[in-house]
Structure formats: C-alpha cells, structure tokens
Structure 1
Amino acid sequence: MGQSNTIRILDGNTFVVSEDTGDIEATPSEPTGLFSIDTRFLSRWVLTVNGERLNALSYDDLQYYEARFFLVPGMATHYVDAKLSIIRERTVGGSFREQVTILNHDEKPVDLEIRMDAGSDFADLFQVKDEILNKKGEIYAEAESDRLRLGYRRGSFVRETVISSSESARYDRNGFAYSVHLEPNEQWETRIDVQTHAIGPGGRDLRMGLRVHGTERLALQHDLEEWIAKAPKLNSEHEELATTYRRSLVDLAALRFSPLSLGGQTLPAAGLPWFMTMFGRDSILTCLQVLPFAPEMSKTTLRILASLQGTRFDDFREEDPGRILHEMRYGETAAFEEQPHSPYYGSVDATPLFVILLDEYEKWSGDVDLVRELEQECRAALKWIDNYADLVGNGYIWYERRNTDTGLENQCWKDSWDSISYSDGTLPPFPRATCEVQGYAYDAKVRAARMAREFWGDPAYADLLEREATQLKERFNRDWWVEDGEYYALALDPDGRQCATLSSNVGHLLWSGIVDHDRAEKIAHHLVGPRLFTGWGVRTLAEGEIRYNPIGYHNGTIWPFDNSFIAWGLRRYGFTEEAATIASGILDAATYFHGRLPEAFGGYPREQTKFPVEYPTACSPQAWSTGTPLLLLRTMLGLEPHEGHLAVEPVLPVGMGRIEVLDIPGRWGRVDAFARGRLDLHSLAD
C-alpha cells in the first residue's frame, strides 16, 4: 500500500495504519491494522452502508493521535448526487476509539443497514514484516449481547480485542451491525470502543503498566499542549524551519514509548510502522539529538537501558555482561523464543553510546546524582568494550553474530546484509569492525574519564581511561587511514585488511573526536565533495563505489540522522561552513516532506531530480529523523555547555534569516539564543 493513500495515527505503544477511507483490510505482508506491543489486534475493519463500500471525499490526520474521514456511498462517478455523508473520527490513546456519524441530506426518510466487519489475525509484527503468518495457537471470536471478543491463545500467551458500542448493535463472530431510521436532515452517531489486552503468565494484563493518556480527545490534546509548552520556543524568519521544528516536537510526542512493567516511563521508540519499540542505539542517538529541547527523555532512556543491561552470556540473545540491548519485543515470536528479542543484544554501538549519553546529559543538566547512580553500569559497559567486544585481540570493537539463525549479521547502524564491503564490492568475512564504532569507544573512554575524576572519586581509573583512549586514537589513525584516498576505511576484516570504501561513517569519526587534526580537513572536503554530498545531504556510500546505489538502503541513500551527526562533527572540528552546508540541504529537503523527514531518501544529485526522491519503505515518523532538525539547530547555533553555562556561537546558512530559540533548558536554568544567517554558501564551490 503506497504512502499516498495510507493514514497513520499513533500514540506511543498503539498505532493504526488504514486506507484513506478508514478501512483496514490487511494481508500478512501489509503493515495495516491496529497494532500494540508488537501484535496486530485488528486486521479487518470495514464499514458499509446498505452493503455498499464507502469512498473518501477527504481525510485529515489532525494530530498524531487522531484522524477524520469524510465519506459517501458509492464509486467516484456517484459523488454528485450522494444523499448521505459519513464521518469517521478516530483516536488512539490507551485504546482505540472511533465515532461514526451518518447524515441524511435527502428530503425523504431513509432506512439504513450499517455494518462494521471486524476481525483479527493477531499477527506478530515480525510475521507481518517477513510476510509469513504461521499461527500455532487458537484464534477465536465470541459474540456477546453487548460486545464482540476476538482472541488468540497459545498456552499462557493470550491476546484479545474487545469491541463495544455506545448504540445498541447486533454482534456476530465477524462484526456488528445497526438498523437505523433517519428522517430528513437527521443524523445518527455511535461511539465504538476497541480495547486490547495482552495476558501473560499468571493471567496479568501486561498493558496495565503502560502510559495511558486516556482515550478522550481533550486529554490527549492537553498532553500534547503540555509537551510543546515545555520545549524551547522557536521564532524564525524562515517559515519552513518553524514548520519543521513544530513537526519534530509533535512527532517526538507521538513516538514516546512506555516499556512494559517499567512504571509508565517513556523513551523514544525507533519508528513507525516496524520499530515502535525500544532500541538501544536509536533511543540513545535520538536523546543526544534532542537534549537541548527535551532533556527528560535522556534520563528515562539511561535508566531503562541500565535496568536491562546484560548480566550473563547468552548466545541466543547475544547477551554479554555489560552489553546494552539492541531491541526489545513483546510479541508472540519473542515470547516463544522464535526470535531472540526478549531482549536482543546484537549491536556493538549501543554500549559505548550509553556512556556518551550519560556524560553529555550531565553536561547539559548538571544531574550528578544520575551519574553516580549509574556508575556501575558505566563501568560494566567499559569492561564490555575491552573484554568482550575485542574478538580479535587488537583493541578494537568487533562483531560476529552468535545466533546464526535469527541474529543480525551486521551489528553496526548500517545493519543490512550488504552494507559493509571491500572496495571491489565483495563482502568481508567475520568478525568485522566498522570505523565509527571505534570512534564511539574512544569518546566513551574520554567521557568516562571525566566522570570518574569528577563524580566517582577515582582519579586512577580516569588516568587509565585517558591512556587507553590516547592509545586507541593513535592505533586507529595508523590502521584505518586509506593513504591513496585520504580518508578512513569503512571497516577492517579479521586479518586487518581495509574495506577501503568511502562512506558517510567518516563523519561520525569527527563527531567522536578520534580524527587527528591534520587529517580532519581531508575528511571535511570528502563530506561536502561531489562523491558524497548531493546538495540535499551526505550519501551513505560515495558515488563511484562498486555497491553505490542512490536508492540502496545503506549503499547510497541519504539518512537525515546520519547527516545531523556529521554536521555536528564538522562543527566540532571548526568546519562551520561545511556544517551549515549540510544543515541547509537537509532542512531544504524537509520542506518537501511537509516538515517530517523520513528515515531515508534517495541519494540522487540535487540538480538531477530537483526534489528529494522518497525511499519506498522508509519509516515515517522515525525517531532519529525526527530529532535531526533539533540537532541541526543546535549545530547551526553553536550551542554547547561550557563550565556550567551555555555557549552560543551561531553560523547560519545564507537565507536562513533571523532565528530565536527561547527558554533552552539546562543546568543554567533557561536561556535564549539568537542568530542571523550570514554565510555565503557559494564560496564552497569556488
């Protein structure tokens, strides 16, 4: 189903994907339906009037949690003389609610048979994604006098959908119906409530621990207004920037996810539709992006990830002591260990990123208590880097999956099967080590040294970490530098042979600080040069590489989140014009997506396409794409915590105009930042 006729509404743990009529007719391969905690609770939801399907006049996804559909009976050729109109108003919160209103515009009374076909396949989200619906339990439907109960049972694993209506209905196993008489200009309406239940061992409903706004629209609206009111205010002469900023704040609110049994705390879920759950890497990077605008997300994320940190060796889940999880799932395949995501630990970057986020959060917030609270978890993460991630024994972080059935082959952020290759296009053997992860390890050690010296009272440990970081930087700049290309290799194979492909990963090295200063200018030139930079952003893989494809998932597309960290890294090394160039391209692209940057878009040259080309299966909204404009704002304004204060050193692209960001929260209270665009981007082409 294409994006053009797909309507998505969501609120944290629950989301609905439907046609533009509001109907849901799912197949095993389509992510349409009502989903919660990795299960599809409705796969059929079709409204008819007198046995006739409805057609959309218009629809409006008013807020992230609600949508409204304006419908008439019949096909498009019958619109003109339609005597009935139907309005479906839909809201998701702690549950799913739909109000159906039917208006009679005829001069005569009418008798109507209104029916909603309802059903559920209770597909696990992995089954939908893999296009394999193989249910091993019992699906049942029970029609009661005042409700329809749909369910699935496999041992103690039970999922149920309970449907009821404010107006009296006739329920059967396949839906429910109403017989309605309407006088001229009369209207009829009913409210339909859909409750989802996830029963676990002991008969407890796992959803009872979730954050629930309440199902009333006013409660949801109040929650959104509070969220936006807490965020800094942006005033800008660049209207599109203001639109993108507000879109980002709203989508962040929508993506707040409450892990089960953790007291209603929220962190950013990775993205709709496939990744509405907790991801170590995605949640951490999103928190880093939004620190100046929503710092509370970092504290919750750190605590939750710390509580689920690895404690043992488990090859199925790829768990080690100290390792931070990659992904957590709650569906059937995870519950019965057909997938390892309960949780799954197969990423090599989440663990150093955990340490980085804790330090960066303290620099912004002054929350020393949290740094002390998570000292042991930080030490365990650093021990994992040294003792368990160095599979080759040469001081780098490597990966090789131990779960060879369902584990990830590539455990870096570019986790598709063909994302890591030699310059001749062939794939290296395992274990593999990617360049950006070594940068994260370096940064984690430097930051942990600061925390050890200032907050943990352990200067000897701080000295050790600093020595290790210095040695890692020296070793890295020796082993990873591609002499004839003057950039860093994408990866090393276990024999130390370079995957000497030019990729966007080198920008993350600037962000981490592992790049020698005398090489930074070469990296900056590559990042804004024609092989990597398209005019919209930096490609994941440089044009001219064997596996380059402008719509290859990790081999030539543009990822907004990737670009935000690249720009931040360029700024760190003093390349302010190059950082502004990338920020300008990405923010220009955002205007073509109505302010909502997708997960990825095509890596075609800007002069060739004139607009950013959509990637067909990109998640939208996606957390770290949503966070991208916020990190770019921080980068353009030069916002950095410095000795307890907020330093502001703006460099804006030309045409950006005046920007004001008011009430930026931090250890300094709330302060304002002001800037005016003054940069001539044409100078980069000279």
Structure 2
Amino acid sequence: MLEGSTFVVSNRNGDLDPACRHPPHGFFAQDTRFVSRWHLSVSGRTTEVLSTAQVDHFAAQFFLVPPTRAFHGAPPISIVRQRLIRGVWVEQLLVVNHCDDPSEVAVELDVGSDFADIFDVKDERIDPRHVVAHPTGGLLTLRYRNGAFVRETRVAVSEPAEIDEDTIRVSLGLGPREERVVTFVVTPHAEQTGRRAPERRASGTFEAMRRDGRAELDAWVAGAPRLTDGADALRHVYDRSLVDLAALRFSPHLCAQDESLPAAGLPWFMTLFGRDSIITSYQVLPYLPQLARTTLRTLAALQATALDDFRDAEPGKILHEVRFGEHAATGRSPHSPYFGTADATPLFVVLLDEYLRWTGDRPLVLELEDAVRRALEWIDRWGDFDGDGYVEYETRNPASGLANQCWKDSWNSILFADGSLARGPIATCEIQGYVYDAKRRGARLAREVLGDRHLADRLDAEAVRLRRRFQEDFWIEERQCFALALDGDKRRVDSVTSNVGQLLWSGIVDDERAGAVVHHLMGDRLYSGWGVRTMADGEHGYNPVEYHNGTVWPHDNSLIADGLRRYGYAPEAARIAGAMIRAATYFGHALPEVFAGFPQHMTHAPVVYPTASQPQAWAAAAPLLMLTTVLGLVPGRDGLTCDPHLPAEFGEPELVGVRGHWGQADIRPSAGVDRAVALRG
C-alpha cells in the first residue's frame, strides 16, 4: 500500500515482521522505517487470514479470525482489518461477535520501530538504535535522535487502552451479535537541523479519508485521455499504468502544494531520481504533461552549482537521486542530493524541448533558461572532462559513489564480449545519443524561444560533428554493431546490448547503419519474444536473470520501439509493443521494473525477476509511450498528426481528449485526428 513515498509492506494478515526481508516489512516515509513491528493478537492468539483485498493503491482490508481447534469449527468472532495511507497510516479494526452470548475480547497490538534508514533495510545491515518510548494516555510515542536528526512515530488509539513501551491493549466487552470499531492512527514525524517537517494529520474519519483518496484518484484518471475500444488487455494495462503512476506521485518540499512528480519505484526507490523522473515524464507527455512540468522545475531548483567530490556534483549537473533518511542527513552517504549520473543532464534538455513541442508552454522554457544554459555548459566542460568530444563518467567519490553512471548503473553492467569489466572513464554509446539529441533540441530552444541564434548555430554544428565522429569511433565493423562504450583507454567495449536501440531513439545513427542495428535488436540473440534483452545471448556476460546483462526492461523497450518507429521500422516497433502488452497480462496488467530474459519458446510466460520494483515509474509509463508510438502521434506546429501501425494485441484503440498546444484532439486510427474546441491554459 502506498501514497507516494509513504508506504506499508506487510504479510497477508496485515502484520509487520522485522525479520522479513523479501520484501521488507515496515511503515516507511522519507527513507526511514517508522514502524518495523506491528503484530495483532486477539485474546492472546495470532489471527488467521481468510482473505485479503487490495481496494486501492492506498487502501486494503484483511479478513481475519482467531484459530479454532476443530477442523470445521466456526470462529466465534471475526475481525475486519481495514487500512489506508493518506499521509498517515490509519488502521481500523471491526470486531464482530457472531454468538448469541456476550464475549470479552482482548485486542493486543505489539508495536516497535527500529527507525532504520532504507539503505540499511536494503542491505540487511540494521544497527540497533536507542529508541525512547513514551506511553501517555491514548498515545504511544517512539522517538529516535541522532544529533539534529530526529524521527518520531506516534500511535494513537480511539478506545480506552492499556499502553506500555511496546504494546497497546484494548479490552472489548461485546454484547450478542455486537460489532465494535477500534481505530489506530500512526503518524510519522521528522525534524532536522532545527526544522520541523509539516505536521501530518488524519483528515477526518476513516471512511471520509477513503472517499477523498478515491475521489482524488478518479480525478487523476479522468484528467488523462480516455482510451476506448481497443483490446481488453490494452485497456486494462492502460488503466493500471495511470493508477500506478498516481500511486507513485509525491511532492518534494520544493513543489507547490498541488504539484507532484513520480517516485522511481517501490520499495527501494521511493524518491526523486533525475533520470527516472525525466524518462517517465517523457513517456507520459501526451497523457499526463503536468508530471514533466513539475519534474523540470524541481530538478532545475536542485541543479548543482559547485564542485563537490563527495556528492559527484559539478556546476550545471542534474541530480541522480535525493534522499531524506539518516545516512544522507548525517553525511554517511552522499545523497543529499547525489549527482552520480552522466545522462540526466542532457536528458533534462531533451525533456524540456519535448514538453514544449506537446504543450507550447514557452513561459516554462523562459523560466528555465538559466538551467538549460548551465546544463549545456556542463556537457562540454564537465561531462567531457578529457576533451575528446564525448561525455564520460568516473566517480569523484570512489568510497561511496557509483562506479557506473549510465542507466545500467550496476557495478558489472559495462562488459566486453569476453566478460571482462570495462575500466573508466567510460563513455557509453547511448549517452552520446542523448548529448546529440540535447544539442539539437537545445539549438531549437535557443532559436525559437530564447532568441539566441549564435548559441543555436553553435549547437547545431556541434551536433553534426558529434554524429559524424560517433559513426567512426563507436562502429565495430566485424560485429556490424555500435560499441556499448569506449573505456578509459578509448577501446571499444564490444558486447552487443540493448543500448544500441536507444541510439535510434536519439537519432544519432546514420541511416545506412540503422538496418544493422535493427537486425541485432530483432534477432534471436537480443529479442526474447517478450522484448529486447539488455545483453545478447551468447555474450560471455549474458545471464537471463542478471540485472543489466540479459534481462528485459519495459522502459528500455519503449524507447527502443520509439526509435524503431523514428527510423521507419514500424512493424518492428509494433512487434515489441505487442509483446509488452502480452507480457503485462502475466503480471496483473502492470509491467514490473524488469523481468527475466529467458526466450519465450522456453518458458511460454515471462519469468519474474526476484527483486524487481513494482510499481515502478518508467515501467508503468512504458505502455503509454508504446501506445503513442504505434498510433504514430507526432506533435507539430500545426497540431497533432496520427499515422497508426497497430499490433494485433492493441486492437483498434481510440484516445479521447488528447490535450496540447492545439487544444484537444480525439485520436481515431481509422480517421486520424479530430480536433475539438481549443482548450488553452
């Protein structure tokens, strides 16, 4: 259950066990586990679960009974455990006496918090913390302090209760067939360096909060274009994508109160990530353009202004990740924020230009002019730190910085074909594509909005030179493929990987070599039948369940499909899009972050990757970009155009109410685009 960066993970009967690691149990907010133990017993016995229902992303209910001795014994009481997350965690117990006689029921809740940083939970290395408990009246307060870093959990109960340092006991005298409700409200509270975070409060009754949450979710979904007709599977996936993106919304402190942007993914990445938020915002532009606006403004506000080796920061750089837990606050980790990514900065420029193409929002471009100029300067001055014309990365913080700072940022993701590890500084191929695209788009922004023709001409010329040199320096003739990267000695890293597909998305590939790239992407070594693998079968480093070296990533495939369509390979783009929709049906119509790369003919169903995030923002957004791609939607000066090439898995979908600078349009593949009355603003 989640509401943005605040979430609860429990077992099927609703209890939290701190010993559970996969997935980790707890009530999390601001990268801290505020509750690690939450165990309900009734009259001294652990409850048994009859069923569990996920009502909404923020609400669930658990139907429980105390254990019975006889095989067919009917339980004398039952408990409906209702739970929701709305800034705070509200848990309501409905205790029902099924007998004609009175019943004394003792409800006991064991509560504890380790206040662990989410990095500690992830690494399964949780040091004991000195937690002080204050039981007073109807409230149990658990408090942890480390200097100026203070975290507090408050558990309030609605009924008279006996409360000690780790237990809340409520005695209920139930009459015949009587029902009673007991409500617990769990409030996370944060202080740091003398600043108190805004107070979280329960806003009304349980039912009122649930109605408000549902109304807010309904409004979010209604604000996106309505998908009609089309295949059932596509409609289910479309609706689930919108709901998952709603679930992941959160508002960092720099956002206006009514603005939000997507957290990257549950459970480990429930925060702002530069690369993830940018790509997610790009994927959903025709559907939820407000995410791009908030993402761009927030990232610009946090853009680096000075060198900081510990945080891998350089002037003009866009952040990789920002954290709010104890490690970041006390300097144990560099995430306050951390800038260890070489691709978020050019992607920032790409997103701003694409946002302008769809919305026509010139005032935002003018507002972010300085940020754009600083980002473009970073590319040339700091991104290309050896002056060879390519953006490389190598951490300034060997102790705790990321070794790989591309989207495949695991330690072993950049491998030669023989399996040996590439050494830095590393210039991956897709980052050069992003830079090429950023220079082209930066030139357009400079010429059409900023009124700086000199900058526009310079960027256009630089993009042409980069594209020409890239064909020479990255092309591996004997493999008929572009290199994954150049290593620190400028050797071509010769593994065949999905990275080459994103080169089509950026447009850096010469037309005469595009066919060779497509041949690799759609061949059996890279294409599993469910999507394009991150590494080709047969490469020494290939493993179908290795995070970045053989798995299938939906977001990667959405960008690859978009690139295929860009170069005129519409059937191939449709093939990938159709496969992704089929795969989604095996995951409850919600694509996970990543799944295994086993071939379809072996498994006949996509195979789960054991630690994949779900929901995950750019995976949830992937079907939306694929829909844009196969419908052939392109925003232009004169409005929106539609050139559909639909796979069978999509049926004949229609999109009603696509908003943009043209006003509003309805997309009917058989008829193209029908423009409605312009709706400006």
Match of 1:517 among 511, 514, 525: 511
Query: In the alignment, is residue 313 of structure 1 matched against residue 307 of structure 2?
Result: yes
Contact 1:310 1:322 in 2 (8 A): yes
The structure 1 residue matched to 2:275, chosen from 261, 275, 281, is 281
Aligned counterpart in structure 2 of residue 151 of structure 1, from 143, 150, 159: 143
Q: Distance in 1 between matches of 2:267 and 2:507?
A: 34
Structure-2 separation of matches of 1:272 and 1:76: 39
Which residue of 1 is the match for residue 674 of structure 2?
A: none
Query: Normalising by structure 2, what TM-score?
Result: 0.96
> Kindly tell me: are residues 213 and 179 of structure 1, through their superposed partners in 2, closer, same or farther at Cα, counting changes over 3 Å?
closer
Of residues 16, 22, 32, the one that matches 1:24 is 16
1:327 equivalent in alignment to 2:321: yes
Amino acid paired to 2:223: K
1:261 is displaced (CA, Å) by 4.8
Task: Choose the corresponding residue for 1:160, options 152, 158, 183.
Answer: 152
Match of 1:12 among 4, 20, 36: 4
- Separation (CA, whole Å) in 2 of partners of 1:605 and 1:523: 20
Q: 2:219 aligns with which of 213, 223, 226?
A: 226
Q: CA RMSD in A?
A: 1.7
In the aligned structure 1, how far is the partner of 2:589 from the partner of 2:185?
32
Cα 1:76–1:533, aligned 2, differ >3 Å: closer, same or farther?
farther
Question: Equivalents in 1 of 2:533, 2:472: separation in Å?
Answer: 26
Report whether the alignment pairs 1:256 with 2:249: yes
Distance 1:82 1:608 in 2: 47
User: Hey, what does 2:679 align to over in structure 1?
Assistant: none
Secondary structure in 2 matching 1:467? helix
**Is 2:357 aligned against 1:366?**
no
Work out which of the residue numbers 151, 170, 184 in structure 1 matches 2:162.
170
CA distance in 2, matches of 1:219, 1:624: 27
Residue 210 of structure 2 corresponds to residue 217 of structure 1: yes
* Selected match of 1:407 from 401, 406, 413: 401
Residue 205 of structure 1 deviates from its aligned partner by 2.4
Question: Are positions 1:206 and 2:197 aligned together?
Answer: yes
Distance 1:289 1:209, change over 3 A: farther
Cα shift at 1:258: 1.1
Contact 1:206 1:260 survives alignment (8 Å): no
- 1:671 match: 665
Is the alpha carbon distance of 1:194 and 1:249 closer, same or farther for their aligned partners in structure 2, counting shifts above 3 Å?
same
CA change 1:601–1:69 in 2 (3 A) is same
Look up the SS of the partner of 1:421 in the other structure.
Answer: coil
Matched-pair contact (CA < 8 Å) for 1:28–1:128: no
Q: Is the 8 A contact 2:233 2:649 kept in 1?
A: no
SS of the aligned residue for 2:107 comes to strand
User: After superposition, where does 1:345-356 map in structure 2 within 5 Å?
Assistant: 345-356=339-350
Task: Please state if 1:660 is matched with 2:651.
Answer: no
Deviations 1:167-219 (Å, cap 9, x if unpaired)? 111111012011111122111111111111001222x3224499999971111
| Contact 2:187 2:200 (8 Å CA) reproduced | no
Report Cα offsets for 1:391-448 as digits up to 9, x if no partner.
Answer: 3321101011111111111100001111101111100211111100000000000000
Offset of 1:540 from its aligned partner? 0.3
Q: Secondary structure at the match of 2:531?
A: coil
Q: How does 1:72-87 map to 2 (within 5 A)?
A: 72-74=65-67, 78=71, 80-87=73-80
* Alignment check: 8 A CA contact 1:42 1:161 kept: yes
Offset of 1:300 from its aligned partner?
0.5
> Quick one: structure 1 residues 212 and 307, their matched pair in 2 at CA, closer, same or farther if it must change by over 3 Å?
farther
The separation in 2 between residues aligned to 1:208 and 1:306, in whole angstroms, is 27
Alignment of 1:384-395 (within 5 A): 384-395=378-389
Match of 1:428 among 404, 422, 427: 422
Q: 2:56 aligns with which of 59, 63, 83?
A: 63
Query: Would the aligned equivalents of 2:350 and 2:441 in 1 still touch at CA under 8 Å?
Result: yes
**TM-score, L = length of structure 1:** 0.95
Q: For the residues of structure 1 that align with 2:68 and 2:147, how far apart are their CA atoms?
A: 46
Inter-partner Cα distance in structure 1 for 2:201 and 2:582: 37
Q: In 1, Cα distance between the equivalents of 2:68 and 2:517? A: 58
Q: Greater CA deviation, 595-604 or 25-34?
A: 25-34
Please say if residues 88 and 188 of structure 2, whose CA atoms lie closer than 8 Å, have aligned partners that are also in contact: yes
Cα distance in 1 for partners of 2:305, 2:97 equals 64
The residue number in structure 1 matching 2:133 is 141
Per-residue Cα deviation, 1:57-115 (whole angstroms, up to 9, x for no partner):
10011100000000111279756422211110000011110000111112322111110
SS state of the match for residue 419, structure 1? coil
Identical columns (%): 50
Maintained 8 Å contact 2:34/2:188:
yes
Summarize deviations over 1:250-297 as a string: whole Å, max 9, x none: 011010011135433311100000000000000000000000000001
Q: C-alpha separation between the residues in 2 aligned to 1:493 and 1:140? A: 52
> Aligned runs of 1:49-128 on 2, under 5 Å?
49-74=42-67, 78=71, 80-128=73-121
In structure 2, the CA distance between the partners of 1:238 and 1:402, relative to structure 1 (3 Å rule), is same
Q: Which runs of 5+ in 1 are unaligned?
A: 1-8, 678-686
Deviation at 1:475, TM superposition (A): 0.6
Residue of structure 2 equivalent to 1:649: 643
8 Å CA contact 2:187–2:201 kept in 1: the answer is no
Give 1:3's aligned residue. Answer: none
Q: Measured at CA, do residues 368 and 64 of structure 1 come closer, stay the same or move farther in structure 2, by a change above 3 Å? A: same
Pick from 617, 621, 627 the counterpart of residue 615 of structure 2.
Answer: 621
Check the 8 A contact 1:29/1:132 in 2, yes or no.
Answer: no
Partner of 2:459: 465
Q: Distance in 2 between matches of 1:80 and 1:128?
A: 40
Separation (CA, whole Å) in 2 of partners of 1:212 and 1:340: 35
In the alignment, the residues of structure 2 paired with residue 362 and residue 674 of structure 1 have an alpha-carbon distance, to the nearest angstrom, of 24
Letter in 1 for 2:196: D
How many Å separate the matches in 2 of 1:212 and 1:72? Answer: 30
For 1:525 and 1:422, how far apart are their aligned partners in 2? 20
Supply the distance in 2 between the matched residues of 1:208 and 1:329 (Cα, whole angstroms): 19
Runs of 5+ in structure 2 lacking a partner? 672-681
Where does residue 32 of structure 2 map in the other structure? 39
The answer for the alignment partner of 2:676 in structure 1 is none
SS of the equivalent of 2:7 reads: strand
The one of 276, 281, 295 equivalent to 1:301 is: 295
Whole-Å Cα distance in 2 between the matches of residues 522 and 234 of structure 1? Answer: 36
